[in-house]
Amino acid sequence: MKDLINIYESSVPQKIDPKAQAELKAIIAETNRDIREKGLKHWCFLALLVLGALGVIIVTIVKILHLILPEQYKWLNQEQISKIEEFLTSGVIGGSIVGIYKSKAAGSNKED
């Protein structure tokens, strides 16, 4: 192996072809744009995830309050309660199905 410590950049600035420099700037600009776009998509996904979680938490709190409050403070009718229960159970069932699918998919990938 060569001694890499003795390798250094030339102190004389190299002339860069203007066309190559323009292409390099375009590539860098495109890469930066892609990075910003990925970051924006990431934060939008996180915001939607947080909003969805807050929605589920609020619906769950409303359901629990409706169960524990005295009769005079209850504001939901039976149809609304059944819709809330349907919403919560469909989320649980959907999450379970997705979890089972992911575990089976991960298991089949390990076998390959």
- Spatial CB neighbours of 30, under 8 Å, sequence gap ≥ 6: none
Q: Is the CB of residue 56 less than 8 Å from the CB of residue 91?
A: yes
Residue 35 falls inside a structural domain: yes
Residue 98 falls inside a structural domain: yes
- Euclidean distance between CA atoms 26 and 38, whole angstroms: 18
Residue 57 falls inside a structural domain: yes
Residue 1: band (very low, low, confident or very high) from pLDDT cuts 50, 70, 90: low
Residue 97: band (very low, low, confident or very high) from pLDDT cuts 50, 70, 90: confident
Q: What is the pTM of this model?
A: 0.56
Residue 59 falls inside a structural domain: yes
- The three-state secondary structure class of 9 is coil
Residue 71 falls inside a structural domain: yes
Establish how many alpha carbons lie within 13 A of residue 57's alpha carbon, considering only the half-sphere containing its beta carbon.
6
pLDDT over threshold 80, residue 108: no
Query: What is the end-to-end Cα distance of the chain in Å, rounded?
Result: 39
| Boundaries of domain holding 95 | 17-111
Residue 7 falls inside a structural domain: no
The total number of structural domains in the chain stands at 1
Residue 4 falls inside a structural domain: no
Residue 11 falls inside a structural domain: no
